[in-house]
Chains A and B, each alone.
Chain A
Amino acid sequence: MEFKDYYKIMGVSEDADSDAIRKAYRKLARKYHPDVSKEADAEQRFKEVGEAYEVLKDKDKRAEYDQLRKLGARGRDGSFRPPPGWQARGGGAQADFSDAGDFSDFFSSIFGGFGGAGQQGQRARQPYRQRGEDVHSKLALLLDEAYKGGEKSVSFQVHEPDAQGFLRSRRKTLKIKIPPGVTRGQQIRLKGQGGPGSGGGNNGDLFIEIDLAPHPLFVVDGKNLQLTVPVAPWEAVLGASIRIPTLDGEINIKVPPGSSGGQKLRLAGKGLAGGDLIVILRISMPRQHSDKARELYQQLADECQYDARKDWAKP
């Protein structure tokens, strides 16, 4: 088991007072809160910070932790083994854990608690009828998966009582069938898949908010999709029938004669959940031109007498 240096995690010195610890926590919580942060490991970091704060803000827990730290209960490889005879406190000491189910084995080995490998935990509230907790989770789908539906595995944490009636945090994995046509921000529910109820109460539900992973071609704008399509200059000028991808497969569309770069063509109903597909034309030039092509461009220049910057950069 890895030794956790709570002072290092919080970025405070060993003699930091409670004000300094609270300030450090608030700063780190703002930085890593999963509802706020964009950092990839935000959730993990936030849990670590929360665990460190749980210990350092509490005079008794901090004293206990400091004692262990001083005892040098760290192996040469940085691993942690509680000293012989060390008793995890457990019991009433964890009554104020708000979300202690996610605390580490290291924490549980010192303080008990209902962390994954804790020896003692908080008694589940059994005697009266209570509905289980709802669990809220997010699921990022590829556009194709959202459009066509399909099977996905989702993992989430639930708190449930073990055989002795102690609450434990457990990672649950379910295979679910995504209905076709879901889009970003929609909520799907799996009834009864949240936390277990007690005293005959119903289980909570699992709510999953759909998110969409970026697609290399399609850009999602609400229910609409945007697709940038390269066209040759002569296709834009003369018009053309071109083949483009959609989430339903490839289709042919007509580029109207006299089109220009940046022009948008709307294909109704080809977006998400009844939205549209907006095709944006991008004029693409060949990388190289033959002598003959250059000659033709010269003829074009002479013929058009077009000044592309006539009205450009003028106040």
Chain B
Amino acid sequence: MNERLPTDSHAARVEVVTETLTLSLHEVCQRCGLNLSDLQHLLAHGVIEPVPASSDEWLFSADALGLLARAARMQRDFELDAAGLAMALSLLDELQRSRRQVDRLRQLLAQHVQL
């Protein structure tokens, strides 16, 4: 199945959105497929945090969107309730940090010591 690749003008529409894209609570719910109560639970557990905003409305960054997409997958695949989901996401975050740290230290160690 051959597919036409987009042209350069298309490719120019790539944007880094980590700090620039902010979404309202309603948009986040709509995009990630989690319901409001699950989202509020994740907020209460500090798994996601709104970006500081001048208005009263809660706004979330694109990073939160990636995290919430993972939350929706994990909720579906492990049949987790909101509290379990919050716990799983926190542990997963810690696991990823630790794995990254181990990889980094292993790489450094290999450069200093003959393993």
Residues of A within 8 A of B (CB): 26, 29-30, 33, 35-36, 38, 50, 98-99, 131, 134, 136, 151, 153, 171-179, 182, 185-191, 204, 207, 209, 214, 219-221, 226, 228, 280, 282
Residue from the set A50, A151, A190, A280 with the largest chain B CB neighbour count within 10 Å: A190
Bound-state CA distance A268–B78 (Å) is: 45
B32, B66, B95 interface centre (most CB from chain A within 10 Å): B66
Grouping DSSP codes into helix (H, G, I), strand (E, B) and loop, the B interface class, with mixed when no group exceeds half, is: helix
Q: Which residues of A contact B18 (CB under 8 A)?
A: 185-187
A sample of 25 cross-chain residue pairs with beta-carbon separation below 8 angstroms, ordered by A number, consists of A29-B78, A33-B78, A131-B30, A134-B65, A136-B70, A173-B3, A174-B5, A175-B5, A175-B11, A176-B11, A177-B8, A177-B12, A177-B14, A185-B18, A187-B18, A187-B21, A187-B62, A187-B65, A187-B66, A188-B16, A189-B14, A204-B31, A214-B107, A219-B108, A228-B111
A sample of 5 more A-B contacts (CB under 8 A), given A36-B92, A207-B62, is A134-B31, A136-B65, A177-B14, A185-B18, A188-B17
CB distance from B88 to the nearest CB of A (A): 9
Closest chain A residue, CB of each to CB of B79: A26
Q: What mask results when residues 1 to 26 of chain B are scored 1 for a CB within 8 Å of chain A, else 0?
A: 10101101011111111100100000
B62: A residues at CB distance < 8 A: 187, 189, 207
Q: A173-B3, A175-B5 are in contact. Are A33 and B112 (CB under 8 A)?
A: no
Neighbouring A residues of B17 by C-beta, 8 Å: 187-189, 207
Measured in the bound complex, the distance between the Cα atoms of B17 and A187 in whole Å is 6
Task: Output the nearest chain A residue to B27 by Cβ-Cβ distance.
Answer: A131
B63 at interface, CB cutoff 8 A: yes
Give the distance in Å from the alpha carbon of A102 to the alpha carbon of B39 in the complex: 27
Which residues in B have some Cβ–Cβ distance to A below 8 Å? Answer: 1, 3, 5-6, 8, 10-18, 21, 30-32, 62-63, 65-66, 69-70, 73-74, 76-78, 92, 95, 99, 103-104, 107-108, 111-112
Select which of B16, B31, B76, B103 is within 8 A of A186 by beta carbon: B16
Quick one: which of A38, A136, A221 contacts B66, CB cutoff 8 A?
Answer: A136
Asked if A191 meets B13 with Cβ closer than 8 Å, knowing A33-B74, A207-B62, the reply is yes
* Bound CA–CA A35/B95 (angstroms): 11
Q: Are the C-beta atoms of A33 and B77 separated by less than 8 Å?
A: yes
Return the chain A residue nearest B15 by Cβ. A189
Q: Which residues of A contact B103 (CB under 8 A)?
A: 214
Return the contact of B70 from the options A35, A50, A189, A221 (Cβ within 8 A): A35
CA–CA, A189 and B77, complex, Å: 25
Minimal Cβ-Cβ distance residue in A for B108: A219
A46 to chain B, nearest CB (A): 8
Q: What CA separation (Å) do A29 and B74 show in the bound complex?
A: 10
- Determine how close the nearest CB of chain B comes to the CB of A116; give it in whole angstroms: 10
Which residue of chain A has the shortest Cβ distance to B7 in the bound complex?
Answer: A175
| A187-B17, A187-B66, A219-B107 given; A151·B11 CB < 8 A | yes
**Inter-chain contact B14/A190, CB cutoff 8 Å:** yes
Q: How far is the CB of A109 from chain B (nearest CB, A)?
A: 19
CA distance A272 to B83 in the complex (A): 37
Closest to A138 in B: B66
A36 to B5, CA, bound (A): 32
Q: A134-B69, A175-B5, A214-B103 are in contact. Are A190 and B13 (CB under 8 A)?
A: yes
Hey, which chain B residues are within 8 Å of A189, CB to CB?
A: 14-15, 17, 21, 62
Residue in contact with A185 in the complex, picked from B8, B63, B92, B111, CB distance below 8 Å: B63
B37 to chain A, nearest CB (A): 19
Q: How far is the CB of A188 from chain B (nearest CB, A)?
A: 5
* Bound Cα distance from A147 to B3, whole angstroms: 29
